A = this chain, B = another copy of it.
Amino acid sequence: MIHKEVPIGVSARHIHLSDEHVELLFGKGYTLTEMKPLSQPGQYAANETVAVVGPKGTFAKVRILGPTRKRTQLEVSRTDAFALGVNPPVRESGDIAGSAGITLQGPAGEIKIEEGVIVAARHIHFHTSDAERFGIGDKQSLRVRFSGERGVVFENVIARVSEQYALDMHIDTDEANAAGVKNGDTAEIVD
């Protein structure tokens, strides 16, 4: 039996912005600047941050990830959501219809988005070659084991397969803390 080991990437709260929202928050003609590349090819952490203001709390500096997307999307943990006072659904990235709203503040302006706040559903990015090697298909639901003192098996882990992806499992800070793992640790796909 093949040992299906995947590296873990822990996602802290972050935001993806549309071109329109970058200009509303940072000024006409502004473009994001890269601070450092992320594990997925072409993706990067920007130097820029925004303030996120909820009914109960505020995060002063939420990192923007680039490049810009078609629609603005804020990804938070459930713990973050309680602190902000919002109730976002657990969703796959991009699936934001009917999700929670929030207020964003940048140096050039403030906007209120009606939807776009989600708790990201845990998932694994597979390059097509990894998926073939492991015998896993796009959108397949997986069970993934984290061993150690706080050992857990996460169910309902979504497989996402593309030639654009690098092998990486994405979980949020609640999930990482509950499992006692950190960036660069590894997990094993059970089935």
| Chain A interfacial positions (CB closer than 8 Å to B) | 77-79, 90, 122, 149-156, 172-175, 177-180
Contact = CB atoms under 8 A, between A and B. Distances in A.
A119 B149 CA distance: 12
Contacts of A177: 77-79, 174, 178
B180 A178 contact: no
Given A177-B174, A178-B174, A155 B156 contact: no
List the 9 shortest-distance A-B pairs measured between CB atoms, nearest first.
Answer: A78-B177, A151-B155, A178-B178, A174-B177, A153-B153, A175-B178, A174-B178, A174-B174, A151-B156
Contacts of A90: 149-150, 180
Nearest to A172: B178
Contacts of A173: 79
B78 A180 contact: yes
Given A90-B180, A175-B178, A152 B149 contact: no
Contacts of A122: 150
Nearest to A149: B90
A174 B171 CA distance: 13
A173 B178 CA distance: 9
Contacts of A172: 178
B156 A149 contact: yes
16 contacts: A77-B177, A78-B177, A78-B180, A79-B79, A79-B173, A90-B180, A122-B150, A149-B156, A151-B155, A152-B152, A152-B153, A152-B154, A152-B178, A153-B153, A172-B178, A174-B177
